[in-house]
Structures are given as structure tokens and as C-alpha cells.
Chain A
Amino acid sequence: MPHDHHDHDHFHHDGMSPSGHPYRADNDEPLSYWQCMEIAVRELLIEKGHVTPAEIAAQIEAMDARSPANGAAVVARAWTDPAFKARLLADASAASAEMGFDIGGLRLIAVENTGDVHNVIVCTLCSCYPRNLLGLPPDWYKTRAYRARTVKEPRKVLAEFGLELPETTQVRVHDSTADMRYIVLPARPAGTEGMDETALAALVTRDSMIGTGLPKTP
């Protein structure tokens, strides 16, 4: 498998970051060739006036501010506001922007899970992902295993995520091959009647918007 990052032991939760992932060996590690290239490229671009340190800092900040919580808010709104849901399914970029999310030029399509249909998103050719809404993709989304197998045996892949779908549910795989990005609008879980938008958003996981999971139940 590709080294999409250095070894981590998923059974150790001591020493994990607040997001529950391993802290990255970073500034204290020996300088690698590629890190050295990053420094050189960035400094040359700054020296030659093609970019400023402030622009780089602002871009990192903007990307850090994008997270699955943005998508969860969109989903929760769609669960509670039928008119918004209709707008989301018609034009997910406009609906996300309407909620105040800075999604840049993202062209987003929302695909709806129902009692009979389950959607799952993949990019077989590279790593296309609705990053301007949900933030950067998880490492597994970029692996050979996920990219290669999701279009051929989606049910087996979903089972590896702990999601077993009945044969009566149709699986729709979406391969992000070009200019669109996709988000799954998961079905609202049973037993959530009366919950408000904020409480509902807390049930919406990142994986439920990729299609490799379902929302949490209250």
C-alpha cells in the first residue's frame, strides 16, 4: 500500500491529537528532500513576488476552517427545511453558499440516500473530494484499495467500513472523474423527530457524507 503516511498504530489512543489522529512528526524530524523542496519553492515564489507569506497563511487558515462540520450543517438544514433540501438537490453549490460557507469555485452535486438507495463517492483517477466544503480528504480516500475497489465491489468495501447493506438497497457509486464534486445527503435517522438543527448536525459524520458510513443515531 502506498505510504500515504508514516506508520500509525490505530489501536493506541494515547498520544492522539484532539481530532483523534496521530500527531504528525513535523518540525523536529530530520529535513527530507521534499520538505527542502517545499521551503525552496515557497521562498523563491515569495522573493520573486508571485505570492506573499500573508496569502499562504490566509490560504492555510481558510483550508483549516473547512471541516465536515460545514457539510453536517448543510445536511441538518436539509433534514429540517424541505425548501432548502429542494434547493440543495437542485444546486448544492448555491445552497452551501447560501448558508455562508466559502466554497470557492466548488461545483457540488448532492445525492440523496433514501430507504432504497445508498450513494457512495470515489475518485478512481486521483483524489477529487468536496474539499472546499468538507476540508481535506482522509488518507484512506486516496489509497489504491479504495480507489480501485469501490467501483467494482462497493458492497464489500462498505462492509469493511462496517456498513452492511441489504440486497434490496440499490448502491449508486459516483466516480468524480471531472469537474463536479459530490456529497451524500444521508437519510435522517429514525428517532430524531423534534431534534433541532444543531443537535441533528452533531449526528452527521464525515463518512456519512462520503457514503462509507451512516449518521449516528441519538
Chain B
Amino acid sequence: MASPADKVRVKTMMPPGHVRAPAYLRGKIGVIERPLGEFGNPELLAYGHTDGPKKPLYRVRFTMAEIWGDAAETPTDTIDAEIYGHWLEPAP
């Protein structure tokens, strides 16, 4: 389980199908804003599998600079998104 302020990177994988990790955040590094607890896995629920293991969910905060680089409107503005634990890896 990740803890508040931990640095995490959203995995870059691009499997087909129903996932809730937005493409614009994949590969981007953010900071855990808060853990939210465990929730059903949308990647199973979407296909009718309601008995699968739950997944931890986190609110992760990213800076506009991290996401959009030089194209950021205001680099210090932020985006918070909810990302399931299996989409996150520790970041240096």
C-alpha cells in the first residue's frame, strides 16, 4: 500500500478494453494525495466478473508541468485523479 506523499508513476501499458486510468496520465509521476480504500476492479466488473479481488484506490496529484511539459498552461496548477493500485509503480 502506498502512503500519502509517496511518489508514484502510472504504468504505461495500453491493454485494450475498459480501464479507468486515463491515457494522458500514463507514464506520469505524481504524489499520493490520499488512499481511498479498496474497491471493485472495473476491469473485471465491466465484463460481468463481480467476485474478483478488490483493488486499492488512490487519489494521485500531478502537476501540469509533469503532464504537459512545455505545453502546460500554468506549470504549477495540478490535476488529481483516482488511480487503482495495480496501475501504479514506485517512482524515484
Q: Which residues of A contact B (CB under 8 A)?
A: 109, 124-125, 151-156, 167, 170-180
Chain B residues lying within 8 Å of A173, measured Cβ to Cβ, are: 77-80
Partner of B36, one of A151, A171, A180: A180
Residues of B within 8 A of A174 (CB): 79-81
Question: In the complex, what distance in Å separates the CA atom of A179 from the CA atom of B38?
Answer: 10
Q: Which residues of A contact B74 (CB under 8 A)?
A: 155, 167, 171
State A175–B80 Cα separation when bound (angstroms): 6
- Asked if A179 and B79 sit within 8 Å, CB to CB, the answer is no
Contact B73 A172 (CB under 8 A): no
Bound-state CA distance A176–B67 (Å) is 17
Q: Once the chains bind, are A172 and B24 in contact (CB under 8 Å)?
A: no
B59 within 8 A of A: yes
Give Cα A171–Cα B72 distance, bound, in whole angstroms: 12
Chain A neighbourhood of B77, CB < 8 A:
154-155, 170-173
Contact indicator per residue, chain B 16-35, by CB within 8 Å of chain A (1) or not (0): 00001110100000000000
Q: B33-55: contact bitstring with A at CB < 8 Å (1 yes, 0 no)?
A: 00010010010000000000000
B57: CB under 8 A from chain A? yes
The answer on a CB contact under 8 Å between A177 and B83 is yes
A124 to B25 alpha-carbon distance, docked (Å): 11
Q: Which residue of B lies closest to A156 (CB)?
A: B73
**Alpha-carbon distance between A156 and B72 when the two chains are bound, in angstroms:** 12
Which residues of B are found within 8 Å of A155, using beta-carbon distances? 73-74, 77
Q: Are A177 and B73 in contact (CB under 8 A)?
A: no
- CB of B66 closer than 8 Å to a CB of A: no
Would B78 and A170 count as touching, CB distance under 8 A? Answer: yes
- Contact indicator B68/A178 (Cβ below 8 Å): no
Q: CB-CB < 8 A to B83: which residues of A?
A: 177-178
CB neighbours of A125 from chain B (8 A):
20, 22
Q: Which partner residue on chain B sits nearest A148 by CB separation?
A: B24
Given A152-B24, A155-B74, 15 other A-B residues pairs in contact with their CB atoms under 8 A: A109-B59, A125-B22, A151-B79, A152-B68, A152-B73, A155-B73, A155-B77, A170-B77, A174-B81, A175-B79, A175-B80, A175-B82, A178-B82, A178-B83, A180-B82
Sample of 18 A–B contacts (CB below 8 Å): A109-B59, A151-B79, A152-B71, A154-B77, A155-B73, A155-B77, A171-B74, A172-B79, A173-B78, A173-B79, A174-B81, A175-B82, A177-B82, A178-B83, A179-B36, A179-B57, A180-B59, A180-B82
| Residues of chain B within 8 A of A170, CB atoms compared | 76-78
Do A175 and B22 touch (CB < 8 A)? Answer: yes
List, in ascending order, chain B residues with CB within 8 A of A156's CB: 73
Q: Which residues of A have CB within 8 Å of B80? A: 172-175
A153 to B77, CA, bound (A): 10
CA distance A167 to B75 in the complex (A): 11
State the CA gap A124–B83 with chains docked (Å). 13
